[in-house]
Amino acid sequence: MPDSPITIPADLRRDLTIQAIRSTIVDVPTVRRHKLSSLSVTAQSYVIVEVRLANGAEGIGEAATLGGPRWSEESVEAIKANIDAHLAPALIGHQADRFEATGVLLDSAAKRNNAAKAAIDTALFDAVGRTLGVPAHQLLGGLVRDSLPVLWTLASGDPAQEIEEAEAKLAARLHDTFKVKIGALSPDADLARMRRLTTALAGRARFIVDANQAWDETTANRCLPMLAELGVTLVEQPLPAWNVAGMARVRARSAVPLMADECVFSTHDMLGVAQAAAADVVSLKLVKHAGLLNLHKVAAVAEAAGIGLYGGCLLESSIGAAAHLQAFAGLRELAWGCEHFGPQILTDDLVEEPLRFEDFRVHLPAGPGIGVTLDRDKLRRYARA
């Protein structure tokens, strides 16, 4: 059944004025070390944003980082500082449902700072959705899917541990596709590790790998054929983000599809990657694209260029993951599924009812806004002093 059109009465629209915006840094331990090519974490840090409207409705959003300003230029400390000093003041008194105009105000208040902007944008969608009693995806164009295939990332660097971890996920019917973080070890060590993983799980699991910009062209050209022989179906960001031309040259020789991640933050980045023929797939993330509307815009450029869509993550809690699912739910195509396993790698979550994972899929939460409710006791427990 098609989604019903939304009409906002004038008196209610006046009540949608943004009254207050609050940010809190939290640090939540992870169940094991999560190791990328250039960093590793044993706790995940977020900035939780709470928005209150004049009508009393409240919305929540989340900005995630990995290991400080090392994955991108934003750290949780900088995110909070810029929200408090620059972004929040620009929005007080503004109408919360004018999402595009909000983006203009945020861009005028600060350059980039995409994760900070995404957290505010999410909280506004949540507050407006709660006011109207509709899920955020309905504010974005409506529902296409209510669940997505979801993979699990293997990132300890220890193949024996990773095989055991993958076996447990398969047995519980949680995940049957695994993304392996490589690049922290030598290429030969990573290839040996991949050989052990693919042999142990042959016929029962699919694999992609993420080099997180660790390779140069020579290394990529040497390793990609061997990854293809091992059955790897996708390779994420093998080269540094600046080397889009190199990605295009590598892609022209590769039998394995390449996915762009760190080289695509904006629609302009996406257009450049498409024009260079540098990727087969793009990873979509709110922290990169500065909000739900902008994620859809990047996806539209990719779709127009014939580039596949993948739901990327930055180890979000159920708050950030739910926001992503609302954005992904309305995309026409999401052929590569998503990786929003983040809530499962945390020792605790920040919401009253975490997301549901079963039968190798993550399910869109029911309810208005982004569909999850902040657990304030957890917020206080993990808030940074």
Supply the residues annotated as catalytic: 181, 339
Contacts of residue 376, Cβ cutoff 8 Å, sequence gap at least 6: none
Per DSSP bridges, beta strands 58-64 and 40-53 are antiparallel
Beta-carbon contacts of 343 under 8 Å, excluding residues fewer than 6 positions away, are: 316, 317, 318, 321, 349, 354, 355
CA distance 131 to 110: 28
Q: Which two tokens stand for residue 369?
A: 């806004």
The alpha carbons of the chain give a radius of gyration, in whole angstroms, of: 20
The tokens for 336 are 């590569």
Question: Rounded to whole angstroms, how far apart are CA atoms 206 and 139?
Answer: 34
Give the closest residue to 208 by CA, choosing from 336, 53, 43, 349.
336
Phi, psi of 250, rounded to the nearest 5 degrees: -65, -45
Residue with tokens 């899920």: 135
